[in-house]
Amino acid sequence: MSRRPPAAWWFLAPALAAIALFFLVPVLASLLLSLTDFDIYAIGDPGTVRFTGLRNYRRLLGDVSFWTALRNTLVFVGIGGPLSLAVSLGGALLVDAPAVRLRGFFRTVYFLPVVTTLVAVAVVWRALYHPRVGPLAVLFEALGLPAVDWLGDPRFAMPAIILMAVWKNFGFNLVIFLAGLQAIPERLYEAARIDGADAWQQLRHVTLPMLAPTFVFVSISTAIGYFQLFAEPYVMTHGGPSDATLSIVLLMYREGFRWWNLGYAAAVAFVLFLLILAASALQLRLQRGTAFGAGLEPRA
C-alpha cells in the first residue's frame, strides 16, 4: 500500500523549486567553474576548458592581492559593522524617546541615504573628501589642522570608506531597531521603574535583552552586506591607493571581468561564500547564546 506525500509538500514545492533553481544551482555552478581554467578563450570555444582541480585555490594561497583583499574586507566588516549597529541603535533610541515629535519625519530623513543610489552617494562623498576644495579640507584649514588626503593616503582611505558606508546604511538598521523598540511592552519599563531602575539600568536590563532577536537579524544582514564591499571602493578609489581599499569582491571583479580569469574569479567567489556562511553561523550561535542566556527562550 503506497503512502501519499503530505499535502504540505505540495504547497512547499514551488518555493523549494525556486530556492533550488536560484540558489543551489548557481552555488554548484560556481563551485564547478572554480575547478576549471575557464577564461575568455573558453567563451568562444567551450571545448578548451580544462578541469584543474584545486589549482585555483592553491593559487589563492600564494596570491598577495587575495590576502590584501581579505585583510581589507575583514577590517571593513570588523569596524564598519559594529559601528553601523551602534549608530543605528543610538539613532533608534533617540527617535523613540517620548519627548521626540515628528518621528515619521525623522524616520524618512534617516532612511533617505538607504534608497539613494550608491554610486551617486560615492561621487558626492568623493567631493566631500577632496583634499583641497572639499568641505572637510576647508574645515581643517579653518581649524588650523593639516590637510588630509582622505582617499589618496593608504592610512585614511579605508576609514574614509567605512565612514561613508556607515552613513549610507545606518538608516535601514535604525528602522528595524525602531520597530523592535516599539514592540517592547511598556509594562516592563513600568515594573523596572517601580523597582527603582534608572534610565541606564532600564536600557541594560530591559531594552537590550528584549532587542536580542532584532540584534541577531540586523548583525547578520549587516555582516553579509559588508562582506560584499564593492561599489564604494570601485567608485571612490578603484581599490587604491596601493590596494589599501581592495576588497574580495573587487578582486573577484578584476579577475573575472578585467582579466577574464573566470575560473579563478569563481574560486574567489566561493571562498567569499564560505566566509559569509561561517561568519553568519558564528554570529547566530554566539548571539542566540547571549539572547537565550538573558532569559529569551527560543520558540518551539
Cα–Cα dist 70/221, whole Å: 19
**What is the grid cell recorded at 98?**
517620548
- In sequence order, what are the residues at sequence separation of 6 or more whose Cβ sits closer than 8 angstroms to the Cβ of residue 242? 154
One-letter amino acid of 161: I
Cα–Cα dist 174/214, whole Å: 11
The tens-digit pLDDT sequence of the chain (300 residues) is: 556 667 888 888 899 999 888 888 888 988 999 999 988 888 788 888 899 989 999 999 999 999 999 999 999 999 999 999 999 999 999 988 887 777 788 888 888 888 888 888 888 898 999 888 888 889 988 998 888 899 999 999 999 999 999 999 889 999 999 999 999 999 999 999 999 889 899 999 999 999 988 988 899 999 999 999 998 899 889 888 989 999 999 999 999 988 889 999 999 999 999 999 999 888 878 776 665 445 444 443
Apex 145 CA angle, 141 and 149, nearest 5? 80
pTM of structure: 0.86
**What is the grid cell recorded at 174?**
535604525
Task: Assess contact for 263 and 37: CB atoms under 8 A.
Answer: yes
Beta bridge partners of 36: 51
